[in-house]
Homo-oligomer: A and B are copies of this chain.
Amino acid sequence: MSHMVYGCVMTVDKSHVLRTAATLLTRKATTSLDEIAKVAGISRATLHRHFAGRDALIKALEELGITRFEAALDAAAIDEGDATGALRRLITHIEPEAALLAFLTTENQLFVGELHAGWDRLDERMNSLFRRGQESGEFRVDLTAAWCTEALYGLVGAAAWAVHAGRIAPRDTEKMIAELLLGGVRRSMEQ
């Protein structure tokens, strides 16, 4: 019985399904599995074959988001160079996953039970980046690292929503997030 070889016959792109689910669930948290399957272009039966149920789908969404976020942190090499540059690189790598991240940070339903252990690790890496910037003198110290982390999450979500609403161009999101987070809206006196 040496069958069960994975990887070639799988015509369903789980990542695509999950992204579709993230988009729909962000817009309407009560979206039915029927609609998710329909928009993803698969039947409800197939959706159910890949994800046992709604909870499993949400769980997979969480897993994917954490994985992508972690990958973005790695790709941005946030521990190298100055914190400002590291933060810019991070935003660049996070932006493509904005919709997914926005879903995870707003769907607090995930945290009613136990929260995924991966989040602790991500939060810690984020916090350490801001702390590093504070210690190097790049970042102000009157804003806690924890708040800066939460603010980044919030801004990423706001940007995703603004793009969806057509208020800002997709190509501008990266700059908008980075500039606002780093410099704020106030015109600097030095300029």
Interface residues of A (CB under 8 A from B): 26-30, 84, 105-109, 111-112, 130, 133, 137-140, 142-144, 146-148, 150-151, 153-155, 157-159, 161-162, 167-168, 172, 176, 179-190
Whether A30 touches B30, Cβ cut-off 8 Å, given contacts A183-B140, A187-B137, is yes
**Bound-complex Cα distance A154 to B177 (A):** 11
- CB pair B142 A179 closer than 8 Å: yes
Whether A138 touches B187, Cβ cut-off 8 Å, given contacts A150-B167, A168-B147, is yes
The one of B84, B158, B187 in contact with A150, judged by C-beta atoms closer than 8 angstroms, is B158
- CB pair B139 A186 closer than 8 Å: yes
- CB pair A189 B187 closer than 8 Å: no
- Nearest B-chain residue to A161, judged by Cβ: B150
- CB pair B109 A161 closer than 8 Å: no
What copy number does this chain have within its complex? 2
- Residues of B within 8 Å of A143, CB to CB, are 176, 179-180, 185
- Nearest B-chain residue to A130, judged by Cβ: B185
Whether A186 touches B84, Cβ cut-off 8 Å, given contacts A108-B27, A109-B30, is yes
**Bound-complex Cα distance A168 to B149 (A):** 11
Q: Which among A109, A142, A144, A184 has the greatest number of chain B C-beta atoms within 10 A?
A: A184
Apart from the given pairs A150-B159, A182-B184, 20 other A-B contacts in the complex at a CB distance below 8 Å:
A27-B112, A28-B108, A29-B30, A30-B30, A30-B109, A105-B161, A140-B183, A140-B188, A146-B167, A148-B185, A150-B161, A150-B162, A150-B167, A151-B158, A154-B155, A154-B159, A183-B186, A184-B184, A188-B188, A188-B190
- Residues of B within 8 Å of A112, CB to CB, are 27-28
Chain B nearest CB: distance from A55 CB in Å? Answer: 11
**Bound-complex Cα distance A17 to B147 (A):** 30
- Residues of B within 8 Å of A109, CB to CB, are 27-30
